[in-house]
Every structure is written in C-alpha cells, then in structure tokens.
Amino acid sequence: MTKMLDIAEIAKATGLSSRALRFYEARGLIRPLRSEGGRRIFGAGELERLHAIVALKRAGFTLAAIGRMLDRPDARLGPMVAAQLAVVEAQAAMLADTATLLHSIQSRIDAGERIGVATLCSLIRKGNSMTTTQWKAVADQHFTKEEQAHWAERMATLAPDFDQDAYQAQWADLGQRIAAALPLDPGSEAAQAFVREWFALLAPFRAVASPEMWAGATRLHENRAAWDGQADPGFSADVWQFIQAAAAAMRVRGEEPGS
C-alpha cells in the first residue's frame, strides 16, 4: 500500500513551507486528498509532482507554464524551453548591463568623485535609457499605430509634474514586495491589502484610460509569455497572476478592487 504523507511530512521532504503547499493547491498545481478529519494527505504522485515544481521554478518557469507542462506531459517541450531560455538570457543581459553601470559608478567613487543620491539616480536612469525603446518594441507587436497614438494623447493629459521615473520605481517596489510575500493565499487579508495598493497605484492610469486602453493593457499582460524578458513592467508574471486571483477573491467577497 502506498504510504500517505501529511502536509508537515511533505514540507520536510520538499523544503517547501506549508503556506507554499496551500498556495500551490489553490493554484491547482497539486491536488492532495483529504483524511476523514479534513487533513491534507499526499501520495507518491503528489510528492513527485512537487519535486518537479521545485525543479522547474529553479529554472525560472512561471507557475502557469509549470501547470501546463505537468498537466500535459506529452507536450512538446522544445518551444517552451526555447522561450524560457530567451527570457533568462534577456534577464542575464540586463543584469550584465546593470553590473557594468555599477562598476563604472564605483570606479568614479573610488577615484574620489563625490556622487550623491540624486546623481546616482540620474546615472542609473541614463544607463537604463533603453527601457523606452524596449517598451516601444513590445507595443509595436501588440498595438496598432492608431492605438498607440490614442494612448499617447490620453497619457499626455496627466499632470505636467507627473514623474514617470518615480512612478515606475513605485511599481518595482510593489512588485518586489509582493514577490517576496509569495506564495500567499489570494483570499487572505494580506493579499487583499496588496490588491488595494495595486489599484491605488493604478489611479493615474485609470484616470485617463479609455475602456479600450484598459482592455488593451489587460490583454497585454495576459499575453505576457509572448514578450516576457523583452521589457520590464516592474513586476513578474507570477505577481500579475497572483493579483488577478486575489482581485477575483475580493470580488467574490463583494468588494470591487479600486472602488
């Protein structure tokens, strides 16, 4: 008879926390059985599946991609591996560029040059000046010239003192904090707090976005697998998927995100 393990034994065997196991269950990645007392119990198949999840996450695959691979073991892996390799290589190139920039700044500091925070931020912004070009390449793939012109016209109505760099830094900060908190139950109070913060940060865009712009932005992120690694919105695909799940849980409870 196959030995069944409880959640504590599975956590010890895989190195995953109980919270992570519950999160993977909520995402449909694992399907533990229940004892008569309602406790989660895992067989050999679920344990093997969890080891696979850990391995694939180590290679950077998103949870959505991992779910597709595990649910379709006969699927062709070549295209998926090639797409993930492109993402990893793009990330490595971006990190290499950042390292080169920081080495250059460190050399100037070591040579006695006084560089304050404002100057450091300016140098980093200049070093990351390709971001606009990268986003233009992504936009060209997903939006017509007319749609992009409409978008630019509406965004131009933002307050003249609107700081795009500071705004993007806020997204990066929020994305990092959410990523650090994952896995997290989408229905938890902590998750709901992240959703409220997310929609509060969206306020400038929501104020000027037409329904078509809103739908286009949603569609862009839903199709992220097609452009992931080409540009950085400040948050990962897993963070985006988590926010969608947490927002859905909020709506089930009768609260509309962003209201």
Instruction: Give tens-digit pLDDT for 210-258.
Output: 888 888 888 888 888 777 777 778 788 889 989 999 999 999 888 888 7
Position 52 pLDDT exceeds 80:
yes
- Look over the chain and give the mean of its residue pLDDT values, rounded to a whole number: 82
Task: Provide φ and ψ at 38, rounded to 5°.
Answer: 90, 5
Of 58-62, 90-94, 204-208, least confident by mean pLDDT is 90-94
User: Which position has the token pair 């229905």?
Assistant: 187
- Dihedrals phi, psi of 76, to nearest 5 degrees: -75, 120
β-strands 5-6, 33-34 pairing: unpaired
- Provide the H-helix boundaries in the chain: 7-14, 18-26, 44-58, 63-71, 78-110, 117-127, 130-142, 145-155, 164-181, 189-201, 203-208, 211-222, 237-252
Nearest to 77 by CA among 92, 93, 56: 56
Produce one character per residue of 141-180: b if its CB has 16 or more CB atoms within 10 Å, e if not: eebeeeeeebbeebeeeeeeeeeeeeebeebeebbeebee
pTM: 0.55
Give me 251's structure tokens. Answer: 């709506």
Using pLDDT thresholds of 50, 70 and 90, give the confidence band for residue 197.
Answer: very high
The yes-or-no verdict on residue 19 having pLDDT over 50 is yes
pLDDT tens-digit profile of 168-194?
A: 778 888 888 998 888 888 989 999 999
Secondary structure (3-state) at 39: coil
Tell me how far apart the terminal alpha carbons of the chain are, to the nearest angstrom: 53
C-alpha–C-alpha distance, residues 257 and 100, integer Å: 41
Please say if the pLDDT value at position 129 is more than 80.
Answer: no
Between 1.10.1660.10, 3.40.50.300, 3.40.190.10, 3.30.470.20, what CATH number should domain 5-71 receive?
1.10.1660.10
Question: Which residue would you say has higher pLDDT here, 201 or 157?
Answer: 201
DSSP assignments along 51-68, one per residue: HHHHHHHHTT--HHHHHH
